[in-house]
Structures are given as structure tokens and as C-alpha cells.
Structure 1
Amino acid sequence: MITALQEILDPSRVERSRSVLTDLGFDNPDLALKNLAHLAGHAGQGGAGLASLPALLDDIGASADPDQALNYLERMAAVSPEPSGLLSRLSDAVPARRVSALLGGSSFLAGSLLEDPDEWIEWLSRRDLLDHARDVLTMLADLYSRIPQGASVESVHSVLRRFHRREMVRIALRDLLGAAPLPETAGEISALAEACVRAACRTAWDFHSARHGTPRFQDDSGAWRISRFAVIGMGKLGGKELNVSSDIDLIFVCSSERGDTTGVAGPDGDVLGRIGNHLFFTRMAETIIRLIGAPTEDGMVFRTDTRLRPEGEKGDLVSSLRSYEIYYESWGKTWERAALIKARPIAGDESLGEEFLALVRPFVYRKYLDFGAITEIRDMKFKIDQSLAARRAAGINIKLGTGGIREIEFLAQTFQLIYGGRDHSIRERSTVPALRAIARRGMISPDERDALVSAYYFLRSLEHRIQFAQFRQTHDLPTGDRDLRVLARRMGYRDGDGVSAAERLMDDYRRHTKTVRTIFDHLLTLPPEGETEDLASEILHLVRGEMPKEEALDLLGRLGFTDPPAALRNLRLLTEGPPLAHYTPGARRLILQILPEALPVVLRSADPDSALARLEAFTEAMGARESFYSVLRSHPKTLELLVTLFAGSAYLAQRLIAQPELFDLVFLEADLLSPKDPLRLQRELASLLAPAQSAEDQARLLRRFVREEEIRIGLRDLVLGVGTL
């Protein structure tokens, strides 16, 4: 600790002063000496402000960037009307530590403190400022208290931006000082966004209803109904996972586009301002977007993105419930299903928001395993890999990079899309709760869960600290040595034992991302295409119809089929489909990739002829061949389980062929071969019956449970070699 500032500023001891400042963490001790000399001048001789500087210098040295912190402190003193008083207040350890952390942790927030430094110091001196996280209702009450009755849209613009700035300083400070874990920080930023959108929504409603009246429509009975409006938070806002500098993804919904507003009474008693409901709600949405996202001299609140709505930028900004229903039923894509996993009503009419969620739930979570989505999920993965390749040349991107945040999110969403229809317990908006739920269901191992959660927390914390610097939406690790060192210090790393803070950071980064990529590849990467053995080449030649029939029959006989003509017929049905059936090029490509690997599995089974015949019958029953083949291509173990069942039990095979929706039980192979005690069976049955609305629903679900367990027990018996049913 420096005992007296005069020692540092003594011209005869410059070299020692440089050494002391370097030890404190300053990269440019000469500039630090200049800033200290200016601060001494601001403080005045013999004042309390001057006496506070040595202790304050220790706090600054502990910050992420001491050079930046000291420079901004000098600038604060320079613009303060009472610099000596400002520095005197920093003799208190509480504001001193907070100010130092802010000034060294974020140049953007440091710049904010320059606007009215004395007021900021007074606010930062509050002892209880960082004690607790603030929820959305607390923030909203505080925000509403700052918006006077009848306030103009322009004045609300300013209030929202000042409120956002103050809250972000508080949230960032709690994060930088370690007073809040990552979920709390992301939750507070999300609560701040929600509070601001709610205030903007109320302002927009007041503004437009004062000019156009109330939107209403006539229902089918002829009764007048008020048309409602809601804002849905998507992406990280919906999942309460916002970053320091996130966009907020919004979509807007109204209960009906029919009808007009009531208008308002004019000075002569006539009705003015009547417009169609759809135009009214579109103007409301546009006002909300401007209030939140438009840049002003006070900055902006959050950047807004509305491209997740149907048809993206080309689509209507606001759509009715019925329009959403038609779109998702007719044209909804897998990526839109993934986006809607996190959807959450955040403003407007709460009941309408819940109706929206109920409407999209069957689209997001299909009743049975959605094989059609598997092919699209594979395409999504391919696009991610393309993006990774493009980004590598530009530097390390912790979101899109190998083993990055996107891969963890992608894993969680893939399991949710596939299994969420039948397993309500994994329908979580946030990534970490989703990973934990998926692990509880045995879809990933506890070790995989722990590794993914640890990596996710590390990477998201790193993402926050990268964005703290300038509050820009970037996910790239800095390339300069100094910037990387400052980032490492912002993350809490320090030099020691011959290892720099930056090296420690990068070691942890490489360890986490390597683990994530290993798990990602294990769970989702598809087998490589191309190379085949000689026998596989013969099989390809056979199923393509390029082998004379007699040679084909001879080959099938030599392979071990007792009825080669039936085997040839079944192979051709698998590769070409029945007569007049629509058989996509993708389906044919996939089956030609699968058969070289599938035939040896069939031939090793207890009854190759029955296994192949039942596999063909089951494929026909499934209907969507291309997506089913995608599953088999991606999960060879699933194919083995099916072949075992088809070869070992005519009864179970017929059950599965008659009810192909039971296949999702086979696909959940992690649970399939594990024994279940009565207590576990009771829990699973209770969970399955929970959504039932009637005795008929309960009976239907109970029958399904019995059928599934019958398949599971029988297949477990076959796989473990206990016997044949």
C-alpha cells in the first residue's frame, strides 16, 4: 500500500515510483504519474481528497485495467464542480472500490460516470446498492415512478434510457465485484429489458388510443369484443439469459385483426381517428420499437430484432393468433420451432400471451418423435459448421467457435425438439435447466451434463466480460496481448507462479471448448459418408439394380438368407418404395448409405429373413422414409435394437408395426435397457397422466404406457440374451 502520494510524485524518486506503479498493475507508469499529478492538483494541498488517493490507488490497481481506471478518475475530477469534495468522498472504502471496479472494468460505463460524476458517486455510496438482485416488478415500479402522468413519447424516450443506464451500472458492478452469479446477472438484465418493454407498451397504448380510440371487433355471435395485444420475448430474453449487450428478439400478437378502433370524439361531436385494428396494432409495435431501440443523444435501451416473426422482415409486424396458427401449421420450419422453445409473454395482455403459447406448443413439441425434424437438424448443424469455418479466419468467436456457446444451446434444443412432445419435464426455456432435465431423463450422462453446464457458465461469463468493455455486441476474443490480459483480469485471473492471467484464461477456454466439442461430436455428429468394404460395394451394386437377378439371388443366398427372392424383394422395397409411391432422392441416397452397414447387422441376427421383412414393413408403416432413414443413419445403435426386436419376436414386431408411434421408446436407448423398479414406474406413470383432462384421456395414456413398457421389457429381454418372446 502506498502511504503517501508525495512519495510517488517526488521527482527525485521517479524510477522507484515507476516500479511501484508497475507492481500495482499499471502498463504505462509515466502516464499514471501524470494523471496522479493532475489529481493532486484537483484535490488541493492538505485536503481530505489528497489523503484518500493512496488507498484509492490500491483499489484502482486491483481493477481489470488500472491505466484506464486512473485516467477516467482524473477526467471525473476534471469535470466535477468540486473535485476535492469528489475525491474526499472516495476516501470511503465502499464507493472507492465500486468506482475503481467500474472505471477499470468498462470504458463505456466509465464514460457514463463523466456525465455527472458527483451524483454518480453519491449514488454509488449507498451501502445497500448491491445487496440484492431486483426483479421485474421492482424495476417496473421504480420506472413508472419516473414517468409522470400524461408524459409524451419523447419524454419517455429519455426516461427509459437514463433508467437503463443506471440499472446497467448497478448490474455490471454486482457482476464485476463477484456479488452476483451468472444466472442472476443474466436474469437482472432480462428483467430490465422486460420492464422497459412493458413501460414502452403502456406508453404506446396510451398514445395511440388517445388518438384512435379502443380497438374492437364483433365475434361470431355479433357481440363487440376489445381486441387485445401482447409482446412475446424470444431468444435469450424469453429464456431470461440476456447478455450485457444483447439484442432483444420480439414478436407481436393481437387477438384479432378484424374490426376498427372506436375513434375519439371531435370538437363538434363527430368521431375522429378511426382506423383498422391491424393498423392500430402495427403503429403500437412501431412505437415500442422506437422507444426501446431508436438511438438518441441518451443512447438506446436495447437493440430490437423482430425478424423471428413469420416470414421475417417481409412478414407483417403484428399478426393475429389465427394468422400465427395458419403459418406454423402450413409453413413452420424446424428453426422456428427451436426459436419458440424460449418464447415468453413479457408485455401487453397476459392472457393473450398465454393463448399464444398454448397455440404454438403442439407445433414446437410434436406429439410423437418428429423424424421430419431430424433431417433439418442435420442441416442446421451443417450450417453451424460452415459458419465456424468462416469465422476461424477472423479470430476466436466464443459463441460460434468450436465448442462454443451455440453448440451447447444446439444440443439442448435438439433433445427438446425430438423428445419434448412426449416428455414435458424437458420443456425448459433456459439452457442450463434444460440440460439438467435432459440428464434426469437419461438422454445425456451426469458427467456430460456437468461438463456442459460448467462450460456454459464459463463461456457466458466470458461473453459478458468481453461486452462490458464497450457494450458492443461482440463475441470475439481480443487479439492484442494487452486487451487479452485486461479481459483475463476482468474474469478474475491474475498473474502468478510464472503463468500470466491471459495464459490461465486461455487454458481454461481451451479445456472447456474441447470438452464441449467432444460431447457435441459424440451426441450429434453423423457417421462419415463414402468408404465401404468390398461386401458393401457388392450390396450397393445389388440394390441399385445393377446386378443380374441370378447373381443377386446367389449373393443373398451366400450371405445367409434362406429365402433370397423375398430378401431381394424387401431390399428393393426399401430402396425404391412400393409401386406408385413418392420416393424422394434424399431417401434413396440415405438408404444406399445405410444398407452396407445394416445388412451385416441383419445377418448377425437370430432370423435375418424375418428381420429384413419386418424392417421393410415397419418402414412402410412409418411413412416418412427420408426422415426415418435419417434417424437410422445418425444412430446405428437404434438400427441394431430394431433388428434385434424384428428378428427375435413376431409379437413385439407386429405391435411396433401396427403402432409406429411407439418407435420413440426404442429411440430413447439410454433408458431402454435400464431396469425400472416399481417406484420409478409409478413416477413415470404419474408424470404421463398429469396432463390428462378426463377419464378418457387417462385411459388412453394408460394404454400407451402399458404398450411402451411391454416393448421396453421385451426388447431388454432380447438384447440381454435372457430369452425370446
Structure 2
Amino acid sequence: MNSPTPSQKLPNVLQTAFEKSLQHFNERCPDYSPWLQKQLADKAFEQQLKTAWGCSAYVAEQCLRKPEEFKQLVEQQTLLTRYNSGVMAQRLREKLAGVASKEQLDTALRQFRNSEMLRIIWRDFNRLADMVETTADISHLADACIQQALDFHHQELVTIYGQPCCLVKGQPVPQQLLVLGMGKLGAYELNLSSDIDLIFCFPRSGETVGEKRAIDNHTFFSRLGQRLIQSLDAPTEDGFVFRVDMRLRPYGDSGPLVQSFAAMEQYYQDQGRDWERYAMIKARVVAGPTAQGEELMALLRPFTYRRYIDFTAIDALRSMKRMIQQELLRRQLAGDIKLGAGGIREIEFIVQSFQLIRGGRELELQERSLLRVLQCLMENEYLPALVVQELRAAYVFLRNTEHLIQGYQDKQSQQLPTDARPQAAMAYSMGFASWVDFEKSLQQHRDHVMHHFSAVISDAPEHLEQRSADLRWQGLWLDELSLEEMVLVLEQGGHEQATATAERLMRLRNSQQLARMQASGRERLDQFMPLLIQAVTEVESPSQALLRIFPFVEAVLRRTAYLVLLVENQGALKELVRLCAASPWISTQLARHPVLLDELLNASSLYHVPDKEELRDDLQQQVLRLPLNDLEAHMETLRYFRLAHALKVAACEVSERLPLMKVSDYLTWIAEVILEHVLAVAWHNLEERHGCPQQSEGVPCERRFIVVGYGKLGGIELGHGSDLDLVFIHDVPSQQLTNGERPIENSVFMTRLGQRMIHILTTQTQLGALYEADMRLRPSGDSGLLTTSLTAYKHYLQTDAWVWEHQALVRARVVAGSGELARDFAQVRQQVLAQARDEAVLKAEVVAMRQKMREHLLAKSAEKGDAPSVSDMTSGIFAIKQGWGGIVDIEFMVQYAVLAWSQQYPALATYTDNIRILESLQQEGLFSEPEVAALTEAYKVFRSLTHKLSLQEQKVEVDSATVAEHRQAVLQKWQQLFA
């Protein structure tokens, strides 16, 4: 179904908006007011103007800001003109004629974009152009801006560095950057406020020729890519051209900005993910030489389309579908016409599932345009004609709706409006008499999409029928039993705390929360509670489990969709009961953040432990469609990511599916992946405001900034709830300025970068804080600079640092940032740790610091005097971390050994974790094999106990007798080492 033609009469709210805009135009543009009044005599133009100004605040504002351009568009009838192929590029070339500087280029690009967007929205809202023309026009606009900005900056850099070339048979052959347009840009389907997803690559390695300042091709094209992004993306007083998103490139934000063809081919062959195949379907070379573009696409095609019929692709799409559904539940995006149920994304999944499965064998499916693929699916009888007709009609309707949402204020959104004016604008422009009529038609389209989506990409059968509990549990919850009767039923069902459980059930049943619930919500609760009471009878301590789950139930009484999920999914309910029975920490997390219930739906995923690369891939998928400048959305997504994976590791730990060392690895990898992304978001946020730091005038710096993790993070030993001990280090010329519209000194940029990262990490949101960040280990502690240069950092450690700061350095390593600077940091660390030291002085310092820590950090009930005798170790309470013979004693011995002997035995300074340092001490003959075995075992036992106690929300203390043998081994080595 095509969108109806708008009626002639404008709704009152739009008529009022139009009249206000007309009044503002007459007041602010008096020289153009008579001209406009004359134009309004044309009834067709008057109707179009009313529609454009009434339905789009952005169009009205553009006409007010640039009345001369508006007048020109009207008089030349450009607003009525359908562009043929190549017209957009030709118009831009004319606009850029005579442009001689980057500033002039950026201004001209933005002004051209604003003018063309006015024309495109005018035609779209007035139905002078159909959806396909609108999306194609925006895509051609992007193509023209990318290509012509690229040409300008290429020539600018050639004058500085020469022409990039590669050698072919000994002769230099010029090279150019190719820009791969992904997603909607690649398919000529951009919407009115799309980001453009780009990947930069070049054919072959080599270096520039023709100028004295020769550089390698990779450096040349990296700088070219940075300049191109700046010209398109940086906001100025004229706005921006297009927001540029580079996260689809190999390795995402952590990867190089540009890659050679060979590196691209290698990456996709060895490491390409399923979601990258999905993204590559629409890939198109949007700028660069045609011949090399064809070569590149030929290299990438085997990755995207398999030669055989690939039914494994359906599992990847199901996984992506689940992720989107979870995102909807998390972010409450029911009104999102792209990601919501029955939205644009589901139509894309339907179409692209056929492309991924069969596209390798059936070349006609290797098509970027969704509508053309739908036609092909009908012609080849993969989908019935009625299904295709309904999907096509829904897609056009939804895309037109999306344009009306975005064209209203030129904002990137797919969320249906809630205010009267944009609702009226949408209904009117779509041809409906009222918002109610529009919503009814929209829902019909979404229902069709949901139905077909479920048929094409349905999960494997999972027996999700609603269940009923045993009658006795229904009676316990629903019948008006006395407290004594409830206790009797619970005792018969095996409850160990029947009275306390009955009292809590009665308190919930008679609570004000339940009294205020709507009837539908109460029905859901009445169905759920008997099932829950029955489910807890399957664990060892049913009362304890049920009492731990009550806070979760109370937390979701206003969001009973979670209860429906548990009623319909027996596996999720079982996991909820089992995990809460095993750990009060888990039950607390679920009560605080019920959205984590999503993670219980798939037991295989819940107990799957991904490696760091999988974690990075998972996070990249979750943030892929978030604009980098939407800080709030990134903060919420990062928090959910951390909570979800922390829940997974806790589930694996309490079920004993994961050994201690793997638990710490996993928790540490989560933090590292998060820190990588926090750095990328913070950098982008500052670069958008101030530009990029410069090495020298006109030469942008590489991102020479690193995050150094100390303590448990540095030692790969994070536990549940661990803080992050961080130090920020950079290596850029401090006095140089950034290259943006509001330049600041590089040193200020780096300080603000650190501040922004801490803000992202520590700010309390609906899902809490990401981590507590402790910056006290930076040079000079709290009184020192937040970020420091590597040179200053090295000088401080060599001349001013205390011994305890050198001890801390033993467990320091780079966890995010520049790989090159990370290698420089490792050299500095090695040099400082290997300094010559007086062992007697060092020993005294270490012992004194250890005693000081014991006095300040041990609980009053614990021992603080001399080391206990062997007989004393079998009685009393032992503080696992700070007590005599505990974790910190092992850590201090290791740190002392590294500082005392690294000059003679450099291998000791290689690792940052205690276990591998102990192994190095044995390999160098400094500790005996039995000593290392005993210390390693003690360390693992102690740390395992701390993890288990934290998951039980208990103090990190145990009965001394249970670990006496391990304490004795630690104290024996301590006394030998420090006697």
C-alpha cells in the first residue's frame, strides 16, 4: 500500500505552527516578505509551504536562516525537480568551484547539505517524491560529499608528502583511498538523519614519492581518513554534513583507521563474524577508483556469500534477533519503528536471512536494495506473493514514517512522537484524518511483519506453553488460609523455615503494592506465585531460596512482563531459583536490575564463557547502532553489558563450572573491553568539540594515550565488585593545540579525556555505576595531574617515587589504548623495576609498609601483633586478605623479589600476576619448587574463598583451623625472606 495523499485542509495545530513560521519569516526576512506573499498566490505552492513548514520545524528554520537559498530553490523550481543520475554530484562541484582551504570546503559542504536536505524533505513531506527517490537522493548526496571532500584532501596531502604509490615491476603506481559505504548508504537507502557507516582501505603498501617528506601509504591514508571524517562529521555553526561511524571496520574502534586490501582479506578470512557478514551484504564502494573498487568487492564477496546453501546463517540471525528483543526490553523501545516488534529491522532480517543462506548459489540475491530482493524472493517463490506484498507495503509505510519522525527537527530518532504537533504532522502527511487512524494502520503493518518474521526466523521449538502449579501451591497463594494453615502446607512441602516463609507470603499478599495493581498485573502475579513456590521445592533449602527471590518479585510488580516471561519459560524460572538459592549476591543483583532476567532465557549462553575477543565482539554489536555522541545510551549499554557478564561469571562460579583463575580472567577481560570502549567514546566526544590533538601544525597525532591498570586489574585478578586502580598516560606535545573549531592545548585535551572517562565509569545511572575508579596510584597521588606524559611518569618513578609505588608497579600493565605507547610503557616499567637497590633497605621498607597496612586495615577482632605461632593458627578468626599468612603477605613477598632481583634476573619483571611471577622465581632458582607449589596453592585457596564469601555476601574471614596449613607455608617463607 502506498502512503495516502495529504488532505487539503491543515489540522489546527499545524495551521497555527505555519502561521507562526510565516510571521517569523516576515519579521526576520523583511526583504523577502513581499516575494513570499506573491508566491502564496499560487495555491499549489501555498499548500506545499503549509505542509513543509507545518510538519517540519527544521525546514521552516532553514528557510528563515537562508532566505536567499529558499528563494532560489523556489524560483528555479528545484523543489519540484526530480534529479537524474549525476545531478547531485554536478551541483556540488559547482558549489565547490573556487574552494581553496579546508575551512572553505567545510562551510560549502554544510551549506550544500542544508540546501539539499530542505529540497529532499519538502518533496518527501509533500509526496512529490516516493520513499525510494528520497532515500536515493540522500545517498547520492552522501556519495557526492564523500568523494569530493576526499579528492580535496588527497590533493592537499599530496602537496605535503607526495603521491602515495606502490611498486609494480619496479615502477611506482599511484594509490588512492577507497571508501566502503556500509548499511543503508551502501544500498542507497539512507534515511533523513542517517549516520554513514564507512570503512577506509587502500590497494597496496608503499610510500609517497615526489616530496622530501615521504611517508608510508598507511600513514598517508590514515591522515587522509582523519581529514575526511573531520570535514563530514565535525559540527560548526552550519551544522554537520553527515555523522560518520567507523565502527564497522575490522577490529572496530580498536583497529587501524585504514587497512590494505591484503589486510582486509586476511581479517575477514580469519576473524570475520556472522554479524559482519550481515553488514557486508549492503557494502558498496562509494568513493575511489572504479577498477580498484571492483577488485575490493571481489575479494570480500566470498566472505559474505558462501558457495553452498548456508543454513547455519539462520542461527546467527536468531541470536541477533534475541539481542534486539533484549535491547527493547532494556530500553523500553516499544514505540521504536525500527527496532520495535514488527519494525524495519525485522523486515531487513527476513530479507537478509534468504541472502545469507542462498546468496552464494543464487547470484540474483546478491542485491543491496531490500525492495529488489523482495521482488526476487517472490519471483523465485521463496516467499508467497501476498507475503511479499505485505512486507513491501509495511516497509514503505515504516520508512515514510521514519522520515517524518526525523524530518520534523532533523534529529536521529525512530521513536514515535508523543506531542500533539508532531503526531498531527505525521498523520496529516501520511494521509490520515487523525493520529488514531494513523496508529491503527501502523499497527496493521507491524502485525503483518511480526507474523512473517516469526514464520521465517523462529526459534527452535522450546515448549513454552503456560503451565499450572500443583493445586496445593495454588491454594497456598490464592486461598484465604490462616498463617498456621500456610505453615503446615509449607512444612509438608519440605520448607526449612516454614513460619518465616508463610509470614513473608502473607505480608506480600496483603501489601499496598498488590492492592494498587491493575487487574491484568494481578492475574499475572497469581499465575506466577504458585509456580515459583513449587519451583523452590526442587532445591536443597526452599525457604532460603524463596526468601531471597522475594525482593525480585517486589521489584517487578509494576513490570509484570517479567513474570509472564517466567511463567512461559520453565528453564528461566528454574535458573532463577537455582542461582538465587546458591548465591544471595546473584539474587540481590536480579532484584536491583530485573532486566538481567533476559540472561536466564538461554542456559547455554548463560554458562558459556567467552574469550576476550568474543566479549569485544558482543559489546561492539550492542553499541553498533548507538551514535558515538549519545553518551547516555553508551553509559547504559556498558552498564548492562557489565552486569550481564558479571551474572554469567557468578553463575558459572556457583555451579562450579569455572575454576578460580578463569573467573578472574573473565572479570578482568570484561573490564578491559569496557575500558577500550570508554576511551573510544570519551575521545570522540572531546574530538567532536575541540578537534584532534596535533603533533605539529596541520599534522594530527595518533591516539597516543593508554590506560594502565594496577592492583587486581593489572594482576589479572579482579573479583566481584573490585575497584579499578587506574593511571592515565599520554605521549603528545603538551603545548600544541587541537585542530577543531574550539582548539585547546593537547595537555588540556588529555586531562579532559581522563575526566570524561572517569565520569563514564563512575556516574550513577539507572543501572548503577560501571566501576569505582581509584586514581591514587598516579604520580604524586591525589595531588598529581590526572593524566601525565610518559616522560614525566618515568622521571617520577626514577627520582621521586616511594618504594611502595615501585611495589605497585610490579602489578601494572596497559589495559587499553595505543599499542605503540603500551610497548614504550613496558620498557619504562622494566627499567624501573630493574633498578639497582640496597636489599637491606628494601627489605626494611617492605616490612614496615606491610606492618602499617596490617595496623590500619585489619579488623579490631583480628591479630595485629607479632606473627602467630603454629599452635595459634588453629584457633580464632583469620582475615584472609590482611591477616598473618594471608593474601597480602604473598603479594608483598612477590613484589619484594621482583624489586630485589630483577636487575640480575630480568625475566622476573615480565609478568604482572602473582602466579606467573612465582613460576618465574622457581625457574630462576630463587624459590624452591616446594615453596612455589605451597605459596601458589595457598594463594589460589585464599582467593577462591574470597570469591565464594563475596557471592554469599559475607565477611572475608574464615575459621583459622580450615586454612592453618596454608598460613603456615606462607609465614614460613615470610620469616625466611625477611628474617
Compute the TM-score of the two structures, normalised by the length of structure 1. 0.61
Match of 1:184 in 2: 133
Match of 2:148 in 1: 199
Q: How does 1:579-594 map to 2 (within 5 A)?
A: none
Match of 1:299 in 2: 239
Q: How does 1:267-306 map to 2 (within 5 A)?
A: 271=212, 273-306=213-246
Aligned equivalents of 2:194 and 2:66: distance in 1? 26
Aligned equivalents of 1:490 and 1:452: distance in 2? 21
Aligned equivalents of 1:415 and 1:64: distance in 2? 45
Match of 2:207 in 1: 260
Deviation of 1:387 (Å): 2.0
Match of 2:319 in 1: 379
Deviation of 1:395 (Å): 4.4
Q: Deviations over 1:562-598 (max 9, x none)?
A: xxxxxxxxxxxxxxxxxxxxxxx979x9xxxxxxxxx
Contact conserved, 1:60 with 1:70, CA < 8 A, in 2?
no
Deviation of 1:479 (Å): 2.0
Deviation of 1:439 (Å): 2.1
Match of 1:718 in 2: none
Aligned equivalents of 2:48 and 2:464: distance in 1? 62
Q: Deviations over 1:281-320 (max 9, x none)?
A: 0111111111111101111111111111101111111111
Give secondary structure in 2 for the equivalent of 1:92: coil
Query: Is residue 397 from structure 1 mapped to residue 336 from structure 2 by the alignment?
Result: yes
Query: Is residue 356 from structure 1 mapped to residue 289 from structure 2 by the alignment?
Result: no
Task: Identify if the C-alpha distance between structure 1 residues 84 and 382 changes in structure 2 by more than 3 Å, giving closer, same or farther.
Answer: closer
Greater shift after overlay, 519-528 or 156-165?
519-528
Q: Counterpart amino acid of 2:387? A: E
Contact conserved, 2:336 with 2:416, CA < 8 A, in 1?
yes
Match of 1:139 in 2: 88
Q: Quote the RMSD (CA, aligned, Å).
A: 2.4
Q: How does 1:79-94 map to 2 (within 5 A)?
A: 79-82=28-31, 85-93=34-42
Match of 1:315 in 2: 255
Structure 1: runs of 5+ lacking an equivalent:
1-24, 26-57, 265-270, 495-500, 533-584, 590-725
Match of 2:356 in 1: 417
Aligned equivalents of 1:459 and 1:81: distance in 2? 40
Match of 1:107 in 2: 57
Deviation of 1:448 (Å): 0.8
Aligned equivalents of 2:33 and 2:176: distance in 1? 56
Aligned equivalents of 1:516 and 1:59: distance in 2? 31
- Counterpart among 410, 433, 438 of residue 372 in structure 2: 433
Contact conserved, 1:420 with 1:427, CA < 8 A, in 2?
yes
Greater relative contact order (CA < 8 Å, ≥ 6 in sequence): 1
Deviation of 1:489 (Å): 1.4
Q: Counterpart amino acid of 2:75? A: S
Give secondary structure in 1 for the equivalent of 2:248: coil
Match of 1:240 in 2: 188
Q: How does 1:6-25 map to 2 (within 5 A)?
A: none
Give secondary structure in 1 for the equivalent of 2:259: strand
Q: How does 1:19-58 map to 2 (within 5 A)?
A: none
Give secondary structure in 1 for the equivalent of 2:81: coil
Q: Counterpart amino acid of 1:68? A: A
Task: Identify if the C-alpha distance between structure 1 residues 218 and 116 changes in structure 2 by more than 3 Å, giving closer, same or farther.
Answer: closer
Aligned equivalents of 1:122 and 1:454: distance in 2? 36
Contact conserved, 2:334 with 2:341, CA < 8 A, in 1?
no
Q: Counterpart amino acid of 1:437? A: C
Task: Identify if the C-alpha distance between structure 1 residues 63 and 118 changes in structure 2 by more than 3 Å, giving closer, same or farther.
Answer: farther
Structure 1 runs (4+) deviating above 6 angstroms are: none
Q: Counterpart amino acid of 1:366? A: R
Match of 1:66 in 2: 15
Q: Counterpart amino acid of 1:260? A: E
Aligned equivalents of 1:83 and 1:297: distance in 2? 23
Query: Is residue 514 from structure 1 mapped to residue 514 from structure 2 by the alignment?
Result: no
Q: Counterpart amino acid of 1:513? A: R
- Counterpart among 405, 408, 412 of residue 347 in structure 2: 408
Aligned equivalents of 2:421 and 2:56: distance in 1? 15
Deviation of 1:481 (Å): 4.2
Q: Counterpart amino acid of 2:220? A: F
Greater shift after overlay, 237-246 or 108-117?
108-117
Aligned equivalents of 1:280 and 1:369: distance in 2? 41
- Counterpart among 405, 419, 437 of residue 466 in structure 1: 405
Q: Deviations over 1:127-169 (max 9, x none)?
A: 464132343x211111111223461111010111111111111
- Counterpart among 434, 443, 450 of residue 389 in structure 2: 450
Contact conserved, 2:10 with 2:428, CA < 8 A, in 1?
no
Give secondary structure in 1 for the equivalent of 2:301: helix
Contact conserved, 1:198 with 1:346, CA < 8 A, in 2?
yes
Match of 1:339 in 2: 279
Contact conserved, 2:109 with 2:241, CA < 8 A, in 1?
yes
Match of 1:688 in 2: none
Contact conserved, 1:77 with 1:86, CA < 8 A, in 2?
no
Aligned equivalents of 1:305 and 1:472: distance in 2? 16
Task: Identify if the C-alpha distance between structure 1 residues 508 and 531 changes in structure 2 by more than 3 Å, giving closer, same or farther.
Answer: closer
Aligned equivalents of 1:526 and 1:487: distance in 2? 35
Aligned equivalents of 2:47 and 2:440: distance in 1? 29
Deviation of 1:209 (Å): 0.8
Aligned equivalents of 1:87 and 1:191: distance in 2? 30
Deviation of 1:95 (Å): 4.3
Match of 2:46 in 1: 96
Contact conserved, 2:79 with 2:123, CA < 8 A, in 1?
no
Deviation of 1:84 (Å): 5.0
Q: Counterpart amino acid of 2:438? A: L
- Counterpart among 88, 92, 112 of residue 163 in structure 1: 112
Give secondary structure in 1 for the equivalent of 2:197: strand
Contact conserved, 2:371 with 2:392, CA < 8 A, in 1?
yes
Match of 1:624 in 2: none
Contact conserved, 1:80 with 1:86, CA < 8 A, in 2?
no
Task: Identify if the C-alpha distance between structure 1 residues 529 and 213 changes in structure 2 by more than 3 Å, giving closer, same or farther.
Answer: same
Aligned equivalents of 2:16 and 2:104: distance in 1? 37
Contact conserved, 1:63 with 1:104, CA < 8 A, in 2?
no
Deviation of 1:483 (Å): 3.3
Deviation of 1:64 (Å): 8.0
Contact conserved, 2:351 with 2:374, CA < 8 A, in 1?
yes
- Counterpart among 473, 483, 486 of residue 425 in structure 2: 486
Contact conserved, 1:63 with 1:490, CA < 8 A, in 2?
no
Contact conserved, 1:235 with 1:342, CA < 8 A, in 2?
yes
Q: Deviations over 1:48-73 (max 9, x none)?
A: xxxxxxxxxx9884798222111111
Q: Counterpart amino acid of 1:528? A: P
Q: Deviations over 1:666-698 (max 9, x none)?
A: xxxxxxxxxxxxxxxxxxxxxxxxxxxxxxxxx
Aligned equivalents of 1:285 and 1:118: distance in 2? 34
Aligned equivalents of 2:333 and 2:57: distance in 1? 24
Q: Deviations over 1:88-111 (max 9, x none)?
A: 323431543343222112111211
Task: Identify if the C-alpha distance between structure 1 residues 394 and 375 changes in structure 2 by more than 3 Å, giving closer, same or farther.
Answer: closer
Match of 1:225 in 2: 173
Deviation of 1:193 (Å): 0.8
Deviation of 1:224 (Å): 2.3
Contact conserved, 1:452 with 1:516, CA < 8 A, in 2?
yes
Aligned equivalents of 1:134 and 1:430: distance in 2? 18
Q: Counterpart amino acid of 2:238? A: D
Give secondary structure in 1 for the equivalent of 2:65: coil
Percentage of matched positions with identical amino acids: 37
Query: Is residue 211 from structure 1 mapped to residue 151 from structure 2 by the alignment?
Result: no
Task: Identify if the C-alpha distance between structure 1 residues 133 and 71 changes in structure 2 by more than 3 Å, giving closer, same or farther.
Answer: same
Q: Counterpart amino acid of 2:315? A: T
